[in-house]
Amino acid sequence: MKTCTKLPLYFALLLLSCCLTACDLHKYDYISKYCPGSCTVIKGRITDQNGQPVASTIMRIKWHNDGYLQPAYTTEKAATITDMNGTYELRFLLRDSELEKGYFQIEASKELDTYLGCTDNSLWYSRDISRDTTIIQNYTIAPSALLEFITDIQEPEQPQERYQALVKYKLRTTDSDSCTYAYDGRGGYLRGQVQVPADIPVVVYILKPGAGMTKKDVLTLQSGERRRYTLQF
As a whole number, mean pLDDT of residues 155-178 equals 68
Global pTM reads: 0.65
Residue range 144-231 forms a domain whose CATH class is mainly beta
Give the separation between CA 159 and CA 190, rounded to whole angstroms: 15
Give the separation between CA 116 and CA 140, rounded to whole angstroms: 9
Give the separation between CA 160 and CA 132, rounded to whole angstroms: 44
Q: pLDDT per residue over 101-137, tens digit each? A: 888 888 888 766 554 444 556 778 888 888 888 998 8
CB 65 within 8 A of CB 112: no
Domain boundaries, the chain: 23-141, 144-231
Pairing of strands 226-231, 144-151: parallel
- 16's enclosing H/E stretch is helix 2-21
Q: pLDDT per residue over 57-96, tens digit each? A: 999 999 988 766 556 778 899 999 999 999 999 999 888 8
CB 117 within 8 A of CB 176: no
CATH number belonging to the domain at 23-141, selected among 3.40.50.360, 2.60.40.1120, 3.40.640.10, 2.60.40.420: 2.60.40.1120
